[in-house]
């Protein structure tokens, strides 16, 4: 499990810079830098998403599934970093987010 800090405040799963989901998925199979990654679990915050969201408690320790094969923290599709940051202020879709903790192998 990874200590996850998320600054994507307009994500329906974000509360107090933490994710409320039990797990997230970071995409970026061919990523060479953090800008080539994204949080595919992102869901834009709006009234419908807020009402439908079943995760409402901040969860700072999160399972992070990852397909960024070139990241040194990725082991078998799972992030093994002690702490990561997901960023994307003002994001309205997942491709406007990124894993700031990506480090190329």
Instruction: Note the pLDDT of residue 46.
Output: 80
Query: pTM for the complete prediction?
Result: 0.89
Q: How far apart are CA 22 and CA 48, in angstroms?
A: 20
Using one digit for the tens of pLDDT, what is the confidence trace for 35-59?
999 999 999 988 555 555 566 788 8
Averaged pLDDT, 52-81: 89
Phi, psi of 11, rounded to the nearest 5 degrees: -85, 140
Q: In the predicted model, is pLDDT for residue 102 greater than 70?
A: yes
Which of 105, 100, 98 is closest to 39 using CA atoms? Answer: 98
Spatial contact of 11 and 87, defined as CB atoms under 8 Å apart: no
Residue 93 DSSP symbol: S
């Amino acid at each position: 499990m990874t200590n996850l800090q998320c600054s994507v405040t307009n994500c329906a799963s974000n509360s107090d810079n933490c994710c409320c989901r039990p797990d997230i998925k970071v995409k970026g199979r061919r990523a060479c830098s953090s800008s080539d990654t994204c949080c595919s679990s992102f869901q834009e915050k709006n009234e419908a998403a807020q009402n439908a969201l079943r995760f409402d408690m901040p969860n700072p320790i999160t399972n992070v599934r990852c397909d960024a094969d070139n990241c040194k923290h990725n082991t078998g599709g799972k992030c093994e970093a002690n702490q990561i940051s997901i960023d994307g202020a003002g994001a309205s879709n997942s491709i406007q987010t990124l894993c700031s903790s990506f480090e190329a192998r």
